[in-house]
């Protein structure tokens, strides 16, 4: 069992929008499906790298957004079946590598077989410690906040919670990632510079990194480059730079 070391200069939680599969395939005059298959290979590399890194505790990957249902039906079907076969192939390997699997998003929209595989993967790996791998599937930051609002209002309606006691930590407690550290480093591949409804609440103080590399080409060296960029930044959380520098010398 590996125990993660806490080091301020290293991201504890890396969150990635894996974008560019379709364009990677189109550049090769191949169907978009080929790009999605190549994307799964890149996922394997990055998961292994983060699991081996002694400081990375959480890796979150955006696999399918709540808006991706708008894609052509054939592409959605392909993505769903790739999701299921990948889980079938990978759950045992993840478990052997001491990786805990976790899904965020509204899974009720998925086929029963897929929902069962997702629960099986979570159950089997729930005590693993090398890395928590969060897969965002049918996920949207707005959906997450909406479902939190629903639960909080039920608690208010039942008299269990008073409206004036609602604060940021109560809201946070009802969000999907309540028990995990917020992302330190956000990476989006594929060249677009937007967050596309990913972790809207949790990204408040995350360092953002955008790269033109298309997801299937993203590898260990590219991830290391993103981490190096993260390490060159001063995170101020509202303080002045001098305050942060003074804190660094006293801790």
Contact residues toward Mg ion (CB under 5 A) are: 19
Single out the catalytic residue among 53, 68, 138, 144: 68
Contacted entry of Mg ion, ligand IPE, none for residue 194, CB cut-off 5 to 8 Å set by kind: ligand IPE
The answer to whether 62 touches 236, Cβ cutoff 8 Å, is no
> Can you tell me the distance from the alpha carbon of 19 to that of 28, in angstroms, rounded to the nearest whole number?
16
DSSP β-bridge partners for residue 102: 134
Q: For residue 179, indicate whether it is catalytic.
A: no
Least distance (Å) from ligand IPE to the CB of residue 213?
A: 12
DSSP string, 80-122: HHHHHHHHHHHHHHHHHTTEEEEEES-GGGS-HHHHHHHHHHH
Rounded CA-CA distance 228/232 in Å is: 6
Q: Which is nearer to ligand IPE, 62 or 103 (CB)?
A: 62
Whether 19 sits among the annotated catalytic residues: the reply is yes
79, interface contact from ligand IPE, Mg ion, none, CB < 5-8 Å by kind: ligand IPE
- Chain centroid offset of residue 96 CA: 21
Q: C-alpha 14: how far from its chain's center?
A: 7
In the bound complex, which residue of the shown chain has the CB atom lying closest to ligand IPE? 22
Q: Which is nearer to ligand IPE, 63 or 133 (CB)?
A: 63
Overall residue count recorded for the chain in this entry:
251
Shorter beta-carbon distance to ligand IPE: residue 147 or 196: 196
155 binds, among Mg ion, ligand IPE, none (CB under 5 to 8 A by kind): none
Binding site for ligand IPE (CB under 6 A): 17-23, 62-65, 68, 79, 190, 192, 194, 196
Which residues are marked as active site? 19, 68
């Amino acid at each position: 069992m590996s125990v993660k070391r806490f080091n301020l200069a290293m991201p504890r939680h890396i969150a990635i929008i894996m974008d560019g599969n379709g364009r990677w395939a189109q550049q090769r005059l191949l169907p978009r499906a080929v790009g999605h298959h190549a994307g799964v290979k890149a996922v394997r590399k990055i998961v292994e790298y983060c699991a081996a890194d002694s400081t990375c505790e959480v890796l979150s990957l955006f696999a399918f957004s709540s808006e991706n249902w708008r894609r052509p039906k054939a592409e959605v079907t392909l993505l769903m079946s790739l999701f299921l076969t990948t889980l079938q192939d990978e759950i045992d390997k993840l478990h052997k590598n001491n990786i805990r699997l976790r899904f965020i998003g509204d899974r009720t929209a998925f086929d029963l077989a897929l929902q069962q595989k997702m629960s099986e993967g979570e159950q089997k790996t729930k005590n693993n410690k090398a890395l928590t791998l969060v897969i965002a599937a049918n996920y949207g930051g707005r959906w997450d906040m909406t479902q939190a609002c629903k639960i909080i209002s039920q608690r208010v309606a039942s008299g269990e919670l008073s409206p004036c006691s609602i604060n940021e930590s109560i809201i946070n407690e009802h969000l999907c990632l309540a028990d995990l550290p917020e992302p330190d480093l956000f990476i989006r591949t594929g060249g677009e510079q937007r967050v596309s409804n990913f972790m809207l609440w949790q990204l408040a103080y995350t360092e953002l990194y955008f790269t033109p590399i298309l997801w299937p080409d993203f590898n260990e060296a590219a991830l290391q480059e993103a981490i190096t960029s993260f390490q060159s930044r001063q995170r101020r959380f509202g303080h002045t730079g001098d305050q942060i520098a003074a804190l660094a010398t006293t801790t």
